[in-house]
Structure 1
Amino acid sequence: MGNRKILIIDDEEDIREVAKLSLEIGQDWDVVAASSGSEGLALCKTLCSGTDEQPPDAILLDVMMPDMDGPTTWHKLQEDPLTAKIPVIFLTAKVQAAEQRYYAQLGVNAVLTKPFDPVTLGDFIAKVLNW
């Protein structure tokens, strides 16, 4: 299942590192990471517009971040034709059903609660994206 590229956008370094290692070692996927919504948008646009880079096959996007939160970042991704079709999975520590429904109604592909199991992270992504 190699050759997939995942973009992780999360302000928590520990989450980025755990997810990166999990997906690189467990799935043999390429992983790039950004620490904020604005950094993630810029990186995603660079990856999608460059001829030498493979665009992300999916984005793991933290919901709660300072500066630009996940839903705002998601809306900005949707506004750009280069990034609008990339599947997005929200990462959130909020587990209330109403919040989960709200995130799902935005149109993201899935919602994953933190903390997640790094051993099953790749399988979860592959399952929800039908890879």
Structure 2
Amino acid sequence: MKTCLIVDDSRVIRKVSRNIIESLGLAAEEAGDGREALERCEEAMPDVILLDWNMPVMDGIEFITELRGRPQGDQPKVVFCTTENDVAHIREAIEAGANEYVMKPFDQETLQMKLQLVGVA
């Protein structure tokens, strides 16, 4: 079973995302910020990461930059899930190593499409 790490400081967003992810047949883990997410990745590298941009402790860009520099850090597909929707933010995320980008709020159909685009769903 493929695994998904949901990284968001909002417990509500993590719960909604988990319900969608599990309905698509993936196992879900959660982290409340980028630092916690890196710890989860050290324990077991997920197949895909849903990543929020704005979080305390370590934001999404800091997390993905750190992740991509680690051994096997290039393996997970990373989908930014954020309210940041201008072209500059999207470009920054892709340049930092994101595979896809989805705007909040999103629904199951939108998230499933993005996961299909990165080859996970």
Contact 1:92–1:112 (8 Å) recurs in 2: yes
Aligned residue runs from structure 1 range 25-44, under 5 A: 25=23, 27-44=24-41
Contact 1:41–1:73 (8 Å) recurs in 2: yes
Contact 1:89–1:110 (8 Å) recurs in 2: yes
Residue 22 of structure 1: SS of its match in structure 2? helix
After TM superposition, the score normalised by the length of structure 2 is 0.90
Distance in 2, matches of 1:23 and 1:6, equals: 7
Residue 104 of structure 1 deviates from its aligned partner by 1.8
Contact 2:64–2:97 (8 Å) recurs in 1: no
1:76-104 per-position Cα deviation (integer Å, ceiling 9, x unaligned): 11121132321111111011122222222
Distance in 1, matches of 2:101 and 2:89, equals: 10
Distance in 2, matches of 1:125 and 1:43, equals: 20
Runs of 4+ in structure 1 off by over 3 angstroms are none
Contact 1:37–1:70 (8 Å) recurs in 2: yes
Distance in 1, matches of 2:31 and 2:11, equals: 9
Residue 20 of structure 1: SS of its match in structure 2? helix
Distance in 1, matches of 2:95 and 2:88, equals: 10
Residue 122 of structure 1 deviates from its aligned partner by 2.4
| Higher radius of gyration, 1 or 2 | 1
After TM superposition, the score normalised by the length of structure 1 is 0.84
**Which of residues 94, 117, 130 in structure 1 aligns to 2:119?**
130
Residue 85 of structure 2: SS of its match in structure 1? coil
Contact 2:51–2:79 (8 Å) recurs in 1: yes
Contact 2:82–2:102 (8 Å) recurs in 1: yes
Mark the runs of 5 or more structure 1 residues left unpaired by the alignment.
48-54
- 1:121 and 2:97 correspond: no
**Which of residues 10, 13, 20 in structure 2 aligns to 1:12?**
10
